[in-house]
Structure 1
Amino acid sequence: MTQAALDSTRITFDCTNCRATTDAFTGTMREAQRLCRNCVAKRKDMRPRELNDLTGAEWAQSSKSVQEFPDTRSEKQRLHGAAYPQSLASQQIAKYTMKGQTVLDPFAGVGTTLDACVELGRNGVGIELNDQYRELALADLPKDGTQVLISGDSLHLNELVKPDSVDMVMTSPPYGALLKHVKGAFGYKWQEHSRIAPIRNPLPYSDDSRDLGNMPYAEYLTAITQVMGNTMMVMKSGAYAVWVVKDFRASKEKIPFVPFHMHIADCAAEAGLKLWDIQIWDQTRFRPLVCLGYPSKNYYHNIGHSYNMIFRKP
C-alpha cells in the first residue's frame, strides 16, 4: 500500500485522556477509544473519587483483613498505656476520608487520632475527660484551628459537636476497669517456671465516676451504646466509624473469655450503626507468649490481636 493510501486510513484527534493531539489508523482500538500511544492500555482512571484520596494500589494494600502496625510508641502514649499506634489511626483515616474532612475521636486520650489528622491534612475533633491526658495531647497539636480538643464527657457529645458535621469517627473506648480483670496472677500463675518478665497492665484512666472505664461492665456497655448514639447524631450520612477493641478474660469472675468486640457490635446495632466490616490488628510479634493455665487442664490461648470494628451510618 502506498504512503498516500496509508495516510488516507488515518484519523487525527485529541486524546481523551491526556488531550495530546495524536493519530491512529481507522478501525483500530486506539481510534475507537480516542487514545494516544502513551495512554492506550494504561489509561489513568479518571473516575471521580467518592471516599478517599488513595490510588488503586494503596486501596488494595489497605484492604487486607489482617494487618500489622509498627509498635512504636511516643512517650505520651506510654504514659497513657493503651493507645493504638499512630500508623493504625493514619491508615484508617486515609481509607475513610479525604483531605480537609473532619474526624472525631470521642475518647481522645493523649491525641493519637488528632496527631494522625495533622499528618494527613484532616480536621480533628477530640473529646477528653481526663485533664492530664488532654494537656499531653494539646502540647503536640498545632494552634491553627484545624485540631480541636474539647474538655468534656462523650455521654453529652451531641451537645459539644454540631449535628451532621463529622466525616468519620476514629476511636478506642476506655479499658480501665475492664483490664483490672486481666491480672498478672492469671497470666503468670506459673511464673516460677518461666523466665518471662511480668508486663504491667494499663492503669485505670482516672477516679472520675463519669469515666466509662470505672463503670461495672453492664453499665459500661449501656454508656457505650449512648456514646455511639451520640456519634450517630453528629456523623454525616454514610460516614464510617472505626472502633479499636480487644477481647479479654475475666478470671476472677470465672469467665474464661469475654467477646468484647461482639458486645461492641451489639451496642452499635442498638445505636443504629451498621456493622460494615472487621479488620484484625495482629499484635503477635510484639507480645511475649505466656503459659496461661499451665500445667492444669485449663488451656488458654494468648490473645495477640485486636479488632478494628468498622461501622457505618445508614
Structure 2
Amino acid sequence: MSSSPELGRQDAMISASGLRKSFGTFEAVKGIDVEVRPGEAFGFLGPNGAGKSSTMRMVAAVSPVSGGTLRILGLDPAVDGPTIRSRIGVCPQEDTLDTELNVRDNLYVYGRYFGLPRAEVRRRTEELLEFVQLADKATAKVDDLSGGMKRRLTIARSLINRPEVLLLDEPTTGLDPQARHVVWDRLFRLKQQGVTLVLTTHYMDEAEQLCDRLVVMDKGLIVAEGSPADLIRDHTTREVTELRFATLDGGATHEELAAKVEDLAERVEVLPDRLLLYTDDGEDTLARVHERGLDPVMSLVRRSTLEDVFLRLTGRTLVD
C-alpha cells in the first residue's frame, strides 16, 4: 500500500484516497476520496448497494482494502489493525447484545475484551449506564428492553474503551420518533465531548440533524460532498411546490399537466400521485399555477430538504 503525504496527517481522523473494495470481479467501492476531521460528525448516505457498508468495514479495520490508500488515526489498517480497533468504537446496524447477560454485564464483559482493569471497567460501566439513561435497568435482561433501550445499550457498549472515533451503521433504524430523538441527543453530547462520529443512515432528517459534512454515494462512487446546507444549495432549489390533482384534471395526464407549468419552475418532477415544482419562491409559483386555471386538490409549499438532493442524485428507483 503506497503512502501519501496527504494521508496519515495528524489533523485527519480518517483519510482515504482512491479507496477501492472488490469481491471477486464485483467492485463495491470504486475509488473514493474521504477525509474526516477531528470532532466532526461525518455521514455516508446512499441507497442499498451504494458501497456504504463496504466502506465502513474498511474504516473499522475489519475488511482489507482492495486498492488505494487508507489511514485511520494516522495508522495503516493493513499493519496496525489491532491498535486501530482498540481506539475506535463500532455500533453495528443490528444489535448484537448478549441475551444471557443483564444490561450491566453486557458492558462489563465487553470492556474486559479490551484488557481494561476490572475497576476501570466497573467505573466506566456505571458512567455509561447513566449517560444512555439505563442506570435503572442495570440488572434487567436484554430481552426485557425496548428497541430504543437496546440501541442505547449497544451505543454504550461501543463507548466502553473511550474511542476517539465512533462508527455508527444506521444508528436509529426501526426506532419510533421518541426513541430516535433520545439517541440523537446522546450522539450530540458525544460530539460535544470531542468524539468524532462517522455514520451511515437512510434517514435524511437524521443526516441533517447530526452531520456536519456528508458524502452521497451511488454505485460505489461519491456523487456529492458537503454540509447538508451546501448540498441543498448546490443541488436543488430553495423551495418545492407540491401539487396533487383530482384523478386527473380534465382527463389530462401528469405529463400533460407538467408541460403546462414547466416554465414556472427550475425543474418539474412527475410522480404517480403529484407534481413537484422546484423553485426559489414556492408561494409565487403556486399563485401562477392558479392563474393558469389549474386547480390542484392539494398544494404544499415546503423548503427543499436533503431528501430532495438524495433522490435527485441517486434516483427514485428501488434498489434491492
TM over 0.5: no
Shorter chain as denominator, the TM-score bin is 0.3 to 0.5
Tell me the TM-score normalized by structure 2: 0.33
1 or 2 for the larger relative contact order (CA 8 Å, sep ≥6)? 2
Larger radius of gyration: 1
Q: What's the TM-score, normalizing by structure 1?
A: 0.34
**Would you tell me which structure has more helix in proportion to its own residues?**
2
